[in-house]
Amino acid sequence: MGYEMAARLAKGGCDVAVWNRTKAKADPLARHGARVVNELKDLASRDIVFCMVSTWDDVKEVVGKLLSGSSKPKMVVECSSISLEGSAELRELLKHKGIEYLAAPVSGNAKVIKAGKLTFVVSGPRAAYDKAKPYLDLMGTGSSYVGEGELARIAKICHNVMLGVVIQCLSEITILAQKTGMRRHAFLDFLNKSVMGSMFTRYKTPALVNLDFKVTFTPHLLRKDLDLGLDAGRELEVPMPLASVTRDLLQTMIGHGMTEQDFATLILMQAKASGIDLKPENVEVGDGLSS
């Protein structure tokens, strides 16, 4: 995610410096004009630092290293999907150091970013948002400002609960359709053209039809987000039956060792549970992203 975000900023003409734990993965960004640095604290004197890692623990670790020298950035825009509590702790930490902070989680995978369709949901001080907005715009189709504090975190958690529930639903109905004798691509073609079709159902169609499960989002990361949603539901006393069932199905998949491919492998579990030996259809289907 971070790679494609940095690539869009660099291609858009921004002065970009990048750090990644595994430097070799970031090195190709140099061909777009980005400077790939060796140490996190080399980013500390930048105006805005965008952070895109995995969990709150990772965010804490990288921000700690970022601020371990004498320089500090003017603003940190944190884009990973993390908890409200983690985000609030980060806000406190940065406030003490006089650094502006925006919570800005995203919607879309790396392919979506490449296609220019990434979106952000942002919270924090309005003035900071106004400063960051041109850069957020460069990385995708825009951002939604939802208010102060950590509100963007809960918006993103809600979004990803829907992601989990929708992929499970898509898996169920596609296998149901197949068991009646329908080809998966034919069924999904209908669904994608219908009022129920979406950018998401379209871009997941190649995976569901041809079983290409190159990872876009890992089962572990999706479980993390469902857990964040369920935790918030418990705290706020909101029942979340669909999220609970989906979380258990995902846990079963992880328990079977299905962890290294895309989360869309939920369809493989669904097929197995339905007595179907799933095969790729080897049909060319669009993902709705490439023009």
Ligand X SMILES: NC(=O)c1ccc[n+]([C@@H]2O[C@H](COP(=O)([O-])OP(=O)(O)OC[C@H]3O[C@@H](n4cnc5c(N)ncnc54)[C@H](OP(=O)(O)O)[C@@H]3O)[C@@H](O)[C@H]2O)c1
Site residues for ligand X per CB under 6 A:
1-2, 20-22, 25, 52-54, 58, 61-62, 80-81, 106, 109, 216-217, 221
Tell me the closest approach of the beta carbon of residue 255 to ligand X, in angstroms: 20
Q: Are 200 and 245 in contact (CB under 8 A)?
A: no
Q: Tell me the helix, strand and coil percentages in the chain, rounded to 5.
A: 55, 10, 35
If the CB atoms of residues 17 and 221 are measured against ligand X, the closer one turns out to be 221
In the complex with ligand X, the residue whose CB is nearer, 182 or 199, is 199
Pair 215, 262: CB distance under 8 Å: yes
The per-residue b/e assignment along 57-70, b for 16 or more CB within 10 angstroms, e otherwise, is eebbebbebbbeee
d(CA 226, CA 155): 13
Cβ proximity to ligand X, 54 vs 274, nearer residue: 54
Rounded least distance, CB 40 to ligand X, Å? 8
Least separation in angstroms between CB 232 and ligand X: 15
CB of 186 to ligand X, least distance (A): 27
Of all helices (H) and strands (E), which one includes residue 106? Answer: strand 106-107
Pick the closer one to ligand X by CB: 81 or 265. 81
Please choose, from the candidates 41, 64, 59, 48, the residue with its C-alpha nearest in 3D space to the C-alpha of residue 15: 48
Q: CB of residue 81 vs ligand X: minimum separation in angstroms? A: 4
Per-residue tokens: 71: 């320089």
Q: Based on CB atoms, which residue is closest to ligand X, 39 or 130? A: 39
Tell me which residue has tokens 């039956």: 241
